[in-house]
Structure 1
């Protein structure tokens, strides 16, 4: 696997990404991986190796304000989505498979809604579902670190003290506020989504996906499937083998 760390500026914000090519000729459409809040593209290194071993080209994005990407003055969900779509345009991708975790999953769902021809298959891992007008604001915090995340942070602090602080914490209030604000437009768009969509939910404490909203979202999706894993919020890291065994066949179909 050959990996390059590159930068593009699709919306006047420098977006870093890791472009990994398989050792043999790439097969199928590229796979775009998008991390959650506080993470960066490196969280996908293990899954990237599995994808490239299967002959897929992989692009793992650092969202604005994260990792090697530039800080920004605004962190709207629509802007995260526009950065992803803009990067795909920069790379000349007409079609991609998109896998997103948490915040990255929600941004990916917006890309699929706004550019239905771009996203062939969509995987939303532990992506919090937007509220509807009638839904109460949840009392749980927007993010509760899993044991694996705490271990990862501690390890990063030892190996690279700067890594733990590699995201712009000014975005936290903005992101939480957006997740706590009803978004009826997102729900209205679900029936018109063309991408076959897999919704992954952790079935243990720490999950950020409301099972009631998940059931209702599934009913509205023309081609959706739900998979639950005995895990908390970070399935791709805490249960990497099960994550790969679930997602790889879906992307290969």
Structure 2
């Protein structure tokens, strides 16, 4: 997809935790229909959504995709990497463009931000501006503390700089997943480099492993508070266990629409973007949001 298909916007969002402001870069695909804001996962990048964004725009939707703080063309070393900061960034984008009735669609860490944006103590007020949430490979359960070492170790072990794209694609899984990850690399004179700092990624993930939250591990209270329809798309080889999904369904029996994809992994949005698009279209039709 060429850059001509979208326009880059840069917002500088100031907050108590970021008095100098945080640079937020996003791709605006245009459109006049129902707004979509697409949020990538941890260590990901905005370009992961190009395939889906193109399809949603062809359907007539207003499509925006955000490079979340700490990633891509956005602020590389933000001071605040709390879950609240990521949620506030997403809502600030909607505010900036004056978008109501939006669908927040995210994968993994980005989907978790979408979940929290729709839930929690302000769920009722936000339901007036959010139409629905689409969660790709994410849920409200807590991550195990060991995940920090696993994710951090994997990111730190990337043999950077990669000498060329082929080497990067091969190391990052090959196929459409490797291609998708490689698309987010920065080209420098000495090779290809990630556009994130592994230590920032680990710091951002740490809150999801906490066991001392007032309501216990995980974000179940926020999940139960959601007042808009939710589509959960999960890969058979993904990270959401059957027990977690069963509890999700129990707490949101009238709003949760779940789809499991046989053979798909955590990066199913890269593996099967055309199927994800079809599922989103069916979900919008079923909930009267098309």
Which TM-score tier does this pair reach, normalised by the shorter chain? 0.7 to 0.9
Q: How does 1:146-157 map to 2 (within 5 A)?
A: 147=174, 148-154=176-182
Other structure's SS at 1:9 match = strand
Query: Which among 216, 219, 223 is matched to residue 255 of structure 2?
Result: 223
5+ long unaligned stretches in structure 2:
15-20, 155-171
1:226 is displaced (CA, Å) by: 1.2
TM-score (norm 2): 0.75
Gaps of 5+ in 1: none
Q: Indicate if the aligned counterparts of 2:139 and 2:244 stay in contact, CA closer than 8 A.
A: no
Q: Which residue of 1 aligns with 2:187?
A: 160
Larger radius of gyration: 2
The alignment yields a C-alpha RMSD, in angstroms, of 2.5
1:53 is displaced (CA, Å) by: 0.7
Instruction: Report the number of matched residues.
Output: 242
Conserved? CA contact 2:116–2:222, under 8 Å: no
Contact 1:112 1:118 in 2 (8 A): no
> Deviation per CA, 1:66-90, whole angstroms, max 9, x where unpaired?
1111130121111101100011111
Contact 2:48 2:180 survives alignment (8 Å): no
Which of 205, 208, 212 pairs up with 1:179?
A: 208
- Counterpart residue number, 1:137: 144
CA distance in 2, matches of 1:129, 1:164: 32
Contact map agreement 1:10 1:90 (CA 8 A) in 2 = no
Question: Which moves more between the two structures, 47-56 or 140-149?
Answer: 140-149
The answer as to whether partners of 2:47 and 2:183 remain within 8 angstroms in 1 is no
Q: Which residue of 1 aligns with 2:243?
A: 212
Alpha-carbon separation, structure 1, partners of 2:103 and 2:269: 16
1:67-86 to structure 2, matched below 5 A, reads 67-71=72-76, 72-86=78-92
1:128-167 deviation per Cα after TM superposition (whole angstroms, max 9, x unaligned):
5332xxxx9365645976544334445666x935764112
Contact map agreement 2:127 2:228 (CA 8 A) in 1: yes
Match of 2:101 among 80, 95, 100: 95
Separation in structure 2 between the aligned mates of residue 125 and residue 87 of structure 1, nearest angstrom: 20
Q: Relative to structure 2, which stretch is displaced further, 4-13 or 174-183?
A: 174-183
Shift of 1:124: 0.4
Given candidates 44, 50, 55, the residue that maps to 2:55 is 50
